[in-house]
Amino acid sequence: MAVFPKVEFVDVGLVDYREMWDRQTELHKSLIQAKREERDTTALNKLIFCHHPHVYTLGKSGKEDHLLLSEEECRDKNIAFYKINRGGDITYHGPGQLVAYPIFDLELFQRDVHVYVRNLEEAVIRTLNDWAIKGERLDSFTGVWVKSGNEYLKVCAIGVHLSRWVSMHGLALNVNTDLSMFEHIVPCGIDDSEKGLCSMQSLLQKKLNMSDVKRQLMKHFQSIFRYNYISTQ
C-alpha cells in the first residue's frame, strides 16, 4: 500500500504580508533542517490559505520601475511594498484574493520544479472549471489565464522559491479582487496590449463566496498532489 505524505492545512484569514512571509520562512527552514538531520518529513508539510492587506511584492528577477508609484505614494495609499525571494516580477496581493502558500518537501511528491508549477496551475484550472470558467496555460508565461476576445486575462499569479526541494511562496487567485490595484504596477512585468487581468468576480459578474472557492481549491490540491489531509480548523 502506498504511503502518502501528510499535509496540515491552515486557513489564517487576513494577515500582514511581512508577518506571513516570516512565518513561511520559519516553516521552510524547519522542514529543511529536518531533512538535514535525516528526519522523516512526511508529516511536516503545510498548506496555508490567507489573504493580505494591500501590498505589492517584487520577485528576484523583477524590475523596480515596474512599480509605478513612489514610496511616498504607496504610503499615502496605505499600500506596503516588499522585495522578496520568490521568482517572477511584481504582483499585487489584497482583499478578495485567495493566496495559497504550500510548504512542501517535493521529494515526497515529485522532484521537478516544472511539474510542481504545472500542478499549482492545474489546481487553479480545476477550481475555475467548477464555476464554468475555462482557465488556460500560456507558453512562456506562468500562472493561469482566461481568453476574452483577442486578449488573455491573468486570473492567477504564481511565484515560488525552492531550497533543498522545499517550496515556499505559491499562488494568488483573483476571486473578488479590486482590479484597479493592478493599475499602479506592470503586472508580472508583462507590458502587452493583448494581456490583462481579471478576477472570478469580473468574469461571472457577481461576488463569490470565498469559503466555497477555498473548499474547491483545497480539494483539487489534495487530488493532484495526493496527500493525506490534516486540518487544524
Q: Tell me the three cell numbers of residue 72.
A: 511616498
Q: Is pLDDT of 1 > 60?
A: no
Confirm if 96 and 105 have CB atoms less than 8 A apart. no
Confirm if 192 and 210 have CB atoms less than 8 A apart. no
CATH code at 6-231: 3.30.930.10
Query: Running DSSP on this structure, what letter comes out for residue 67?
Result: B
CA Rg, the chain, in Å? 17
Which DSSP string do the residues of 53-82 spell out, in sequence order? SSEEEE-TT--GGGB-S-HHHHHHTT-EEE
- Average pLDDT score over residue span 94-115: 96
**42 or 116: whose pLDDT is higher?**
116
- Please give the share of the chain, as a percent, with pLDDT higher than 70: 97
The answer to which of 126-135, 138-147, 167-176 has the lowest mean pLDDT is: 138-147
Distance separating alpha carbons of residues 210 and 55, to the nearest angstrom: 20
Q: Is pLDDT of 232 > 70?
A: no
> Judging by DSSP bridges, how do beta strands 6-14 and 228-231 pair with one another?
parallel
- State how far the alpha carbon of 34 is from the alpha carbons of 31, 101, 108, 166, in Å: 5, 19, 13, 11
What confidence category does residue 87 fall into, taking pLDDT thresholds of 50, 70 and 90?
confident
Catalytic residue list contains 156: no
Confirm if 208 and 158 have CB atoms less than 8 A apart. no
- State how far the alpha carbon of 94 is from the alpha carbons of 140, 183, 212, in Å: 26, 14, 19
Q: What is the pLDDT of residues 29-80, one digit of tens each?
A: 999 999 999 999 888 899 999 999 999 999 887 888 999 999 899 999 999 9
Contacts of 70 (CB under 8 A, 6+ apart): none
Distance separating alpha carbons of residues 169 and 215, to the nearest angstrom: 20
The half-sphere exposure of 54 on its side-chain side, counting CA atoms within 13 A, is 13
Q: Is pLDDT of 230 > 80?
A: no
> Judging by DSSP bridges, how do beta strands 151-163 and 166-174 pair with one another?
antiparallel
| Residue of 50, 156, 188, 198 marked active site | 188
Instruction: Select, from the ranges 50-64, 94-108, 136-150, 190-204, the one with the highest average predicted confidence (pLDDT).
Output: 94-108
The answer to which of 61-65, 112-116, 148-152 has the lowest mean pLDDT is: 61-65
71-84 b/e (C-beta count within 10 Å ≥ 16 → b): eeebeeeebbbeeb
The answer to which of 108-122, 131-145, 218-232 has the lowest mean pLDDT is: 218-232
Q: What is the pLDDT of residues 174-228, one digit of tens each?
A: 999 999 999 998 877 777 767 899 999 999 999 999 999 999 999 999 999 999 8
Question: What does the longest C-alpha to C-alpha distance in the chain come to?
Answer: 58
Helices (H), 11-87: 17-36, 71-76
Cβ–Cβ contacts within 10 Å for residue 36, how many? 8
Distance separating alpha carbons of residues 8 and 153, to the nearest angstrom: 32
